[in-house]
Amino acid sequence: MHHGKVNAPWKGECTMTSSSKEHWNKVYTNNPITQLGWHEAQSFPSVQLIERCAVPKHYPTILKLQNAAVWHDRAVFHFLTQEQHRQTYHSLLQKIVMPGGFVIMATFAMDGATKCSGLPVKDTVQKA
């Protein structure tokens, strides 16, 4: 399996296999965006949470992947099913999000889906 590596601004590497890239290209090519499970015409919960962060208006509006005041993830973390990948993501957040910044993550419920777009997902809450 071929792995494509991308140098990232946080001086690490992101690795995406060619099969996962093909998978996502197929998902987006073969389905209208409004039919994708994560589509929201207006994301009220996300917007409300971001507004509650009260980030000053003079902060840059373009994400530079460094010193981010708010990191909003609705679509990545739940696909990280291996602990090593989750730890790497956590380490990247510590480098990317500015001190005092905010991380907003959408996840599946404990009794929610086990797959999304045909791929396995992992819930983020430890079951008692």
Give dist(CA 32, CA 107) in Å, integer.
23
Token pair in block for residue 17: 């296999």
> Where along the chain do its domains lie?
3-120
- CA angle 8/102/81 to nearest 5° reads 60
- Average pLDDT of the chain, as a whole number: 76
Residue pair 52/69 in contact by the 8 Å Cβ criterion:
no
Point out which residues pair with 14 in neighbouring strands: 6
Pairing of strands 68-73, 97-105: parallel
Whether this model's pTM surpasses 0.75 = no
pLDDT tens profile 81-114: 888 989 999 998 998 888 888 898 888 777 888 8
Residue 78 and residue 116 in contact, taking contact as beta carbons nearer than 8 Å:
yes
Q: What is the DSSP letter of 34?
A: G
State pLDDT tens for residues 17-42: 667 788 888 888 998 888 877 777 88
| Cβ-proximal residues to 62 (8 Å cutoff; 6+ apart), any chain | none
